[in-house]
Structure 1
């Protein structure tokens, strides 16, 4: 089993009218999650993607969030945060979601799933996948969830290749926690992460051979703070904060 960053979710209101400054990040059409009342647009980078997520049927999402599955679902954090824009959670791709479930349950971790999901675009094309959620009620930072795509990996890679901006690579995700030690310990247990650096400013975690690092800082509020993206075409760093999300380019 291997895990790697699949995508990070950025909640953006009025998504259909949204663009990044200078269109530096190209946005592609996504589709609707009918059962959740959400829809998305997608930004494909070399090693992962950003899912821009919005709500088109708020009563549907509020109803789902009250259910056992819904309280841990990927858009639940939107409601729990009082509809504040910004990064909400992220997903790790796995090639064997059933074994991840067995591993977690064997270690006394409560999970929900795997749950079958689908998204349909305007052309009627449907994508399907399965999700597995950590069901811990006492988390600080909303736990990343697991995703396994039903599509063949090679076929999916070929399909996404024309959409990727390959000069952009996510190198790190910066996270704030009101209890860094607790978040670090849980993420190590849940995702088999290793500590690559630990100092008075932050703890840095890595997952398997994936190149992305996760830096956990002390903060007054637990949240996904920013993503750092390597830009192979720039000569100097730049950044912007937009709709509650901070994007740093190096």
Structure 2
């Protein structure tokens, strides 16, 4: 499978317009509105990915779209499925050729939906465009990551975002629980060509080829994303912040 890397995570937060990270730890940049989904976001750019904080401004629009084939697998659908509980809902893996990726996945017998053309518009009217591809397998225990290809070339996009990135913060790992860990591990390895870094009787650690972010899948009574571990080059000791249903664990670099 072609090169994939972590692009961003999605953290659903109520009343996002009034939210700030404790101590203004992360700078929240203006995102925009996803008109077809009834959602809007704020973005915190870190060294190797970004955090998308998401909220719903038109719940009736989101409720309608999640009843469609595309909507039930769309990135905000887990908000409705979780009855609007706050927390991390899913994550995106970036690709540079989403059409080729679709062919590769279908060649492995994986059902997909997309590519779907998307855009968001900020208060100045500036639009950002991208394409999304979703895995349509109905048998997952944890909402799987989806795929994204930005309209801008990667180098140009990176140059534009460089001034916004807080490079002292690097996402190291993402922790999730599954009521059927072996099932989830097998699916993720098949879908994303992930390799097993280590495994014991409680935890399996996976990673993508050519990407250092680890995915720690643990046995748990409830399936879902639980925490994000971030290296902080400006601290001398670890600390943890539990914010709106998601644990942010920081390690000294």
Normalised-by-shorter TM-score class: over 0.9
Provide, for residues 215-236 of structure 1, a one-character-per-residue CA deviation record: whole Å limited to 9, x for no partner.
0000111100000000001000
CA offset at residue 138 of structure 1? 1.2
| Alignment-derived partner of residue 86 in structure 2 | 85
Q: Distance in 2 between matches of 1:201 and 1:189?
A: 20
Matched, 1:129 2:130: yes
Q: What's the CA shift string for 1:118-172, capped at 9, x where partnerless?
A: 0000111101000000001111000100000011211111110011000000000
Show the counterpart of 2:206. Answer: 205
- 2:145 aligned residue: 144
SS of structure 2 residue aligned to 1:74: coil
Task: Confirm whether residue 162 of structure 1 aligns to residue 163 of structure 2.
Answer: yes
What is the aligned partner in structure 1 of residue 197 from structure 2? 196
| 2:226 matched residue in structure 1 | 225
Task: Spell out the pairing of 1:1-250 with structure 2 (5 A cutoff).
Answer: 1-250=2-251
User: Which runs of no fewer than 5 residues in structure 1 stay unpaired?
Assistant: none
Q: How many Å separate the matches in 2 of 1:29 and 1:225?
A: 26
Q: Separation in 2 of the partners of 1:21 and 1:190?
A: 36
Q: How far has the Cα of 1:52 moved from its partner?
A: 0.1
CA–CA separation in structure 2 for the residues paired with 1:37 and 1:24? 28
- The Cα offsets for residues 165-223 of structure 1, whole Å up to 9 and x where unpaired, read as 00000000001000000000000000000001011231000101111000000011110
Runs (4+) of structure 1 moved beyond 4 Å? none
In structure 1, the residue corresponding to 2:227 is in which secondary structure?
A: strand
Query: Could you tell me how far 1:20 is from its partner in structure 2?
Result: 0.8
Aligned length: 250
TM-score (norm 2): 0.98
TM-score calculated relative to the size of structure 1: 0.99
Q: Aligned partners of 1:24 and 1:106: how far apart in 2? A: 44
RMSD across aligned positions (CA):
0.6
3-state SS of the aligned residue for 1:182? Answer: helix
Deviations 1:15-64 (A, max 9, x none): 01001110111111100000000000001000000000000000000000
Write the distance in 2 (CA, Å) between the matches of 1:108 and 1:151.
Answer: 30
Q: What is the CA–CA distance in structure 1 between the aligned matches of 2:26 and 2:111, rounded to whole Å?
A: 37
Q: What SS does structure 1 have at the residue aligned with 2:217?
A: strand
Distance (Å, rounded) in 2 between the aligned partners of 1:225 and 1:64: 26
For residues 209 and 101 of structure 1, the distance between their equivalents in structure 2, rounded to whole angstroms, comes to 20
Q: Name the SS for the 2:140 alignment partner.
A: coil
Report the 3-state secondary structure (helix = DSSP H, G, I; strand = E; otherwise coil) of the residue aligned with 1:82. Answer: coil
Q: Distance in 2 between matches of 1:201 and 1:27?
A: 36
